[in-house]
Amino acid sequence: MVLAEPRTFLSVNFHSARGRRKSPRVKISSVSAQREVDLSVQIGSLHFSNPLIAASGTFGYGLEFADLVDLNALGGFVTKGLSLAPMEGAPAPRVCETPSGMLNAVGLQNVGVRAFVAEKLPALRKFKTHVICNVFGHTAGEYVEVIRVLNDSEGVSAYELNVSCPNTDAGGIVFGVDCQLLGQLVESAKRAATRPLWVKLSPNVTDIRIIARTAESAGADALTVANTYPAMAVDVSTRRSRLGRLTGGLSGPAIRPMTLRLVFESAHTVSLPVVGLGGIESAEDVLEYLAVGARAVQIGTANFANPRAIPGILGALQSRFFDLNCKTLKDLTDVLERSDY
């Protein structure tokens, strides 16, 4: 599989950004050699067949991709955010092209947790892959109630708290940027949860190490680092935002260098597994995240450009491990831990 050829999102060529390095052309040595590579990984109590997980908000409820991708080949996927009641989301347009990435302002549209359990989850149970439910609310009580509804349903492996939501009980302060609010939320969610609890951190903080420690102390089982970056784009001819809302979340390759730093700082601050997320579109990108301490990765915007992006990256990743003379993720980690960063 060739990784050096340009790939596009909508009409944007991610590789057109100045200075973007191209991934090397991968040569697959042999099918038997590929089978010798063990990419399985342990994240807390959960065993994943490989470290590639589809990110929340980019993979629907999983079922939308079932005819395009072998869901069983994924390490897992995270559902779009689930709230206590259905939400219609933001007005159109909801996505906007940017250099080497995109802005989105979907507004957390979803069917609500009860409809997910009744209409989506039964069909997901036939797949042998981890289903991680992204959970959000505008009060701590809403988060807890969503988790309680999911607790009673089979087929869910873990919960991922989206803490980038404003707490209406606290005047709109975002949970993920206030240590006290974050600690209280994680503690409440942990008490309610009967499954592993991941916390998806916001990048919009002064020092993510403090936030990571807070989540760890409050009982998180793993951290996802990080959510999208607040940003905006303007159409000067109309003097209006290019989105239906004034601002949105920036994702795609443009954010990878910034998020790599956040993953490095988090992974070297806490003892929890860290799942890296931000701008991954190739096997080399995955290796960068693993190199700075991520236990696994989530892949998001690349799914918009190519619904089959993750299987392609997985095949290339197996080949790269063979080229590096590594048969497991631990082999790679051991080498990098002895190297200077």
Question: Which of 184, 216, 187 has the alpha carbon at shortest distance from 201?
Answer: 216
| Cα 322 from Cα 294, distance rounded (Å) | 20
Among the listed residues 133, 165, 179, 326, the single catalytic one is 165
| Exposure string over 35-72, b if 16+ CB within 10 A, otherwise e | eebbbebebeebebbbbbbbbbbbbbbbbebeeebebe
Residue corresponding to tokens 């700075």? 292
Could you list the beta-strand ranges (E) of the chain. Answer: 8-9, 12-13, 41-43, 46-48, 52-54, 76-78, 95-98, 101-104, 130-135, 158-162, 166-167, 173-174, 197-201, 222-225, 229-231, 234-235, 240-241, 248-251, 274-277, 296-299
In a 13 Å sphere around the CA of 78, the CA atoms on its Cβ side amount to: 30
Structure tokens at 70: 């072998």
Is 96 one of the catalytic residues? Answer: no
Catalytic residue positions?
Answer: 165
